[in-house]
């Protein structure tokens, strides 16, 4: 395969034989995926179904939860399949599709967190003008900013990668990664590298600069403002900062381990940390925001109780019908 320029599939070489433990890993991973899907879907339904939550902050949160579903679905089905399988290959189109979805997830996460920090900045620094600033039209525009630029940027990235001639098909990961594919290229990658140098600052560094600027302004208002203002800032910004730091840690390690030799690290630890930003972020955000925001927490509890009540009624009716028979 090393002399070929036509690659029809990729081998994910980071997987290794775990024997009967694969069923344990499969069960744990499946439960993890079910929890992620359940909590994010619950919060999306609660926000969409309750008009009292149709405010800018909750709309941006809903966008964040949609992205968590998108990112985890880009990884978990493939991961579950490969845990049980003895053959760890992906077709070239599916591999590129996975790269597309994973990169969209990462890019949207940063832009979403940046827009959320801007929303908190307006709410804390200009509370009286908040409704004037954050109109429905502006919220719609900001949600479009969250999703459209990452889609365009990543689409161009995938097109450039798909046009490369490859001299190998082995990716030392448990999922497809764009940089790992580029390293297999035997054609000129100058255009790819230049584009990455342009796209990365726009998709990652610009949102981080927005977050840095808004928090500097928020801190300034907190130091100069009342105790009530400081308490409001802490309660609304703590989940956001926790989410940002958690995601940044996961992405930073993934970038480091994909570009540098980290063979001294245990293999299981490398796999775990490479999956961190795709697995723990989708679980952390719903927990952080669901538990910290009383409005969401109360409505979630109500929805769960309603669901449990309906299930109990269905079980009682089923038992009654069986008794009659």
pLDDT, one tens digit per residue, over 191-225 is 998 998 888 878 888 998 999 999 888 888 877 76
What pLDDT score does 21 carry? 84
Element (H, E) at 291: helix 281-292
Compute the distance between CA of residue 95 and CA of residue 9 in angstroms, rounded to an integer.
8
Measured CA to CA in angstroms, residue 47 lies from 14, 43, 110, 296, 301 at distances of: 39, 6, 21, 8, 13
Whether the predicted pLDDT of 314 surpasses 80: no
DSSP tally for the chain: helices H, then strands E? 12, 3
Task: Give the pLDDT confidence of 141-156 residue by residue, as tens digits.
Answer: 999 999 999 999 999 9
Res. 33 pLDDT band, cuts 50 70 90: very high
Whether the predicted pLDDT of 90 surpasses 50: yes
Res. 2 pLDDT band, cuts 50 70 90: very low
Between 83-97, 118-132, 249-263, the lowest mean confidence (pLDDT) is in 249-263
What pLDDT score does 123 carry? 87
Compute the distance between CA of residue 302 and CA of residue 184 in angstroms, rounded to an integer.
52
Mean per-residue pLDDT over the chain, rounded: 84
Q: Which of 27, 94, 73 is nearest to 278 (CA)?
A: 73
Helix (H, G, I), strand (E, B) or coil at 170: strand
Task: Give the pLDDT confidence of 44-65 residue by residue, as tens digits.
Answer: 988 888 888 888 989 999 999 9
Spatial contact of 38 and 266, defined as CB atoms under 8 Å apart: no
100 compared with 316, residue with greater pLDDT: 100
What's the rounded mean pLDDT across residues 3-9?
Answer: 66
What pLDDT score does 269 carry? 79
What pLDDT score does 304 carry? 66
What pLDDT score does 315 carry? 55
The residues spanned by each domain of the chain are 9-308
Helix (H, G, I), strand (E, B) or coil at 101: helix
Measured CA to CA in angstroms, residue 166 lies from 3, 93, 121, 133, 174 at distances of: 9, 14, 47, 50, 19
Task: Give the pLDDT confidence of 246-283 residue by residue, as tens digits.
Answer: 898 888 888 777 777 666 677 777 788 888 888 999 99
Res. 158 pLDDT band, cuts 50 70 90: very high
Q: What is the CATH number of domain 9-308?
A: 1.20.1070.10
What's the rounded mean pLDDT across residues 24-53?
Answer: 90
Whether the predicted pLDDT of 26 surpasses 60: yes
Whether the predicted pLDDT of 3 surpasses 50: no
Whether the predicted pLDDT of 109 surpasses 80: yes
Res. 140 pLDDT band, cuts 50 70 90: very high
pTM here is 0.86
Positive or negative torsion for Cα 261, 263, 266, 268: positive
What's the rounded mean pLDDT across residues 155-161?
Answer: 93
What's the rounded mean pLDDT across residues 147-168?
Answer: 92
């Amino acid at each position: 395969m090393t002399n070929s320029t036509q690659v029809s599939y990729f081998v994910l070489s980071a997987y290794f034989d775990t024997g009967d433990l694969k069923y344990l890993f499969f069960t744990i991973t499946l439960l993890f995926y079910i929890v992620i899907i359940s909590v994010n879907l619950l919060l999306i339904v609660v926000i969409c179904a309750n008009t009292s939550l149709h405010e800018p902050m909750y709309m941006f949160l809903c966008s964040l939860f949609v992205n968590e579903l998108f990112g985890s679905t880009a990884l978990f089905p493939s991961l579950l399949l490969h845990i049980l399988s003895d053959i760890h290959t992906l077709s070239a189109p599916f591999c590129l599709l996975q790269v597309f979805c994973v990169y969209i997830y990462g890019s949207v996460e940063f832009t979403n967190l940046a827009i959320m920090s801007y929303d908190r900045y307006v709410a804390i620094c200009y509370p009286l003008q908040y409704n004037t600033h954050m109109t429905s039209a502006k919220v719609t525009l900001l949600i479009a900013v969250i999703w459209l630029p990452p889609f365009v940027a990543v689409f161009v990235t995938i097109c450039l990668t798909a046009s490369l001639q490859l001299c190998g098909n082995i990716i030392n990961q448990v999922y497809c990664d764009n940089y790992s594919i580029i390293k297999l290229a035997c054609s000129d990658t100058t255009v790819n590298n230049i584009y990455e140098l342009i796209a990365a600052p726009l998709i990652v560094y610009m949102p981080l600069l927005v977050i840095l600027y808004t928090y500097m302004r928020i801190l300034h208002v907190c130091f100069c403002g009342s105790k009530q203002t400081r308490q409001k800032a802490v309660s609304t910004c703590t989940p956001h900062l926790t989410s940002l730091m958690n995601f940044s840690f996961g992405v930073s390690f993934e970038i480091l381990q994909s570009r540098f030799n980290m063979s001294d690290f245990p293999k299981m630890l490398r796999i775990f940390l490479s999956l961190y930003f795709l697995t723990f972020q989708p679980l952390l955000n719903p927990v952080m925001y669901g538990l910290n925001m009383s409005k969401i927490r109360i409505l979630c509890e109500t929805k769960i109780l309603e669901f449990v009540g309906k299930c109990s009624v269905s079980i009682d009716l089923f038992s009654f019908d069986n008794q009659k028979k």
